Amino acid sequence: MKITSSAFENNQLIPSKYTCDGENINPPLLISDVPTEAQSLVLIMDDPDAPMGTWVHWTLFNIDSKTIEIAEDSVPSGAIQGRTNSANNYGGPCPPSGTHRYFFKLYALDTELDLTAEADKAQIEQVMQNHIIDQAELIGRYSRN
């Protein structure tokens, strides 16, 4: 399984358009090679370099397993946005200082998650724990210096 973006290469800089310095919209994400037995996908975007611990920027779950693209500034039909550290939607990179890494982690599950939009990253990870078939990640970097 793979997750890529037409906006930036793995481990490269995320364009400011997708950050708090720009339009603060999600970048386009391409998904490929999802296992045929997958029932749903989960996407978690977080920043492990945040000064107060990992900062969650976006959570999406119950994404249709046939999804091949999450278009710029959109949420796939039927997917649920969970709680983040700031809201129930995408919050772009906005590091207080230095260069931070942003992990877009994609999981293929053998089930859908019985959760509401109030679920946070910890709850999502706990419920999906024994249901992960495959996973992939894309790392973007951003600095406001």
Q: Which residues contact 142 (CB under 8 A, 6 or more apart)?
A: 13, 14, 16, 19, 93, 95, 99, 100, 102
Task: Give pLDDT tens digits for 61-114.
Answer: 999 999 999 999 999 999 999 999 988 899 999 999 999 999 999 999 999 999
Q: How confident is the model at residue 86, as a pLDDT?
A: 87
User: 2-143 has which CATH code?
Assistant: 3.90.280.10
Q: How confident is the model at residue 20, as a pLDDT?
A: 95
Q: How confident is the model at residue 28, as a pLDDT?
A: 98
Q: How confident is the model at residue 108, as a pLDDT?
A: 98
pTM for the model stands at 0.96
